[in-house]
Structure 1
């Protein structure tokens, strides 16, 4: 049985490039909720590999210009439509379709992407397999 790996806030920040302040904000807003345990006079915060992937998806989607509300919607859609997206064996590829202030998460397929582009819709690739590959490289080099 594979043992779960946990990461500190500093580890998550280093791996994903997300600031500690941003992680705290997402924690406060319950966007990505790590394990918080009381220890003595303070608290200990640990992120699981699931939350690491969620933070990585958030960082990526914000980096391509989506706002926090849109990114939260996509993350919630991923959780509902593809609950195993945080599993390193997940090879799914999606496209985020943006238009008129809305975003939708669709399975990636080339013909559909081309049709959407011809309709002047914005398409953002969200390739879960690539996120896992990048995380594996970063974790092994930290």
Structure 2
């Protein structure tokens, strides 16, 4: 199947972020699009995996997670599970707060409840929800 690419405007509309957010995240190296040089300038295109990254950032920020923590989660996921953003396979993780540090682990209901019982923070990182939202917007032809 041929890869589909999206302009910044398309990516913003599909993921719910603003063009300024996309530009800022690109400048900071948080979400790195495919940039194609042309004769008179450059055209910036985002892949399907970039859309997942953008949608994930929007989702986490909308839940009240700080920008720094959202960037941390995205970086950790890209390092630990790089295929997640390419495969279209949604999985569930959780971010655990312990002793002034954060760790990203596979979602485990019992472990999450134990952390909550101890008064520690548990932040859901559910990529399957993010994929479902993108699939609804794009249709099954693109994801």
Same fold (TM over 0.5): yes
- How many residue pairs get aligned? The number is 140
**Residue 101 (structure 1) shift:** 6.1
Partner of 1:80: 79
**Residue 100 (structure 1) shift:** 6.9
CA distance in structure 2 between the aligned counterparts of 1:88 and 1:109, rounded to whole angstroms: 22
Q: More deviation in 104-113 or 132-141?
A: 132-141
Partner of 1:24: 23
Equivalent pair of 1:96/1:124 in contact (CA under 8 Å): yes
In the alignment, structure 2 segments of 5+ residues that lack a partner are none
CA distance in structure 1 between the aligned counterparts of 2:13 and 2:95, rounded to whole angstroms: 26
Q: TM-score, normalised by structure 2?
A: 0.88
Partner of 1:42: 41
CA distance in structure 2 between the aligned counterparts of 1:64 and 1:46, rounded to whole angstroms: 27
In the alignment, structure 1 segments of 5+ residues that lack a partner are none
CA distance in structure 2 between the aligned counterparts of 1:91 and 1:71, rounded to whole angstroms: 17
Question: Are 1:108 and 2:99 matched, yes or no?
Answer: no
